Homo-oligomer: A and B are copies of this chain.
């Protein structure tokens, strides 16, 4: 069925005193949550949609704007507005290795390596790792997908001297744990984890399939080998509501 008729199958209630844009917002949200407009669906053009609701583009866009900031829709310039994959919340647990923390999500997570390069260590990462800024470092940038949906992006730093064979060890299974094993680090653990919130950069919005400037949560973590030997600095970002962070001391 044509998505226009699904959305504007009946006119907005007449006597309703709530704002028009809110009514449209509710209608769209309800249709998306009911699964009538599944992820990936392209909405009718804003001109048509506004016409179908008997309102103006400006008013319609106010409804779309909220749905975009909530991550339910993504607009692609020149292409159209698409129903976004629902933020399927999964749980990250503090103080555990990632694979342990996955729990019931284990089989549903896939990883895409976005960047693997060498560069001088930035001051912030240097402080976290207890190294001087500027030393040779390895940058690993990855995207985690839950059931194929982009949900979590990480940007990691390692001391290059400590992992001379990083690229080769990583290549086999795209596994950082493999890299550690290959460099005589059998076990590691989480030292500290910080969680904050802010807004997506342009690049983050693009890779996470979010509207520009959508609200996100950020995590920075330090992992260590043995007791007090930091080896990994990790900065992660995910759409607000896509991930639940769990700390069980």
Other-chain contact of A244, B58, B196, B249 (Cβ < 8 Å): B196
Decide if A241 touches B198 in the complex (CB within 8 Å).
yes
Return the contact of A245 from the options B189, B195, B244 (Cβ within 8 A): B195
Considering only residues 182-214 of chain A, those with a C-beta below 8 Å from chain B are: 189-199, 213
Q: Which residues of B contact A195 (CB under 8 A)?
A: 195, 217, 244-247
Given contacts A66-B213, A69-B69, contact A249 B197 (CB under 8 A): no
Give the interface residue-count category, chain A.
Answer: 20 to 34
Decide if A83 is an interface residue (CB 8 Å cutoff): no
The answer to whether A94 has its CB under 8 Å from any CB of chain B is: yes
Q: CA of A215 to CA of B89 in the docked complex: distance in angstroms?
A: 17
What are the residues of chain B within 8 A of A215 when measuring CB–CB? 69, 197, 215, 240
Q: Of all chain B residues, which has the CB nearest A190?
A: B249
Tell me if A70 is interfacial: C-beta within 8 Å of chain B: yes
Please state if B196 and A241 are interface contacts (CB–CB under 8 Å).
Answer: yes
- Of A69, A94, A189, A190, the most chain B CB neighbours within 10 A belong to A94
Proximity bits, A154-189, B CB within 8 Å = 1, else 0: 000000000000000000000000000000000001
Contact A95 B249 (CB under 8 A): yes
Query: Which residues of chain B come closer than 8 Å to A194, judged between CB atoms?
Result: 244-247
Contact A197–B247 (Cβ < 8 Å) = no
Judge whether A248 is part of the interface by a CB distance below 8 angstroms.
Answer: yes
* Residues on B with beta carbons closer than 8 Å to the beta carbon of A189: 249
CA distance A213 to B197 in the complex (A): 15
B191 x A248 contact (CB < 8 A): yes
Say which residue of B58, B199, B217 sits within 8 Å of A70 (CB atoms).
Answer: B199
Within 8 A of B (CB), among A217-238: 217
Chosen A-B contacts, 15 in total, with CB atoms closer than 8 Å, are A70-B199, A89-B196, A94-B249, A189-B249, A192-B246, A193-B248, A194-B245, A194-B247, A196-B243, A196-B244, A196-B245, A197-B217, A198-B240, A240-B240, A249-B249
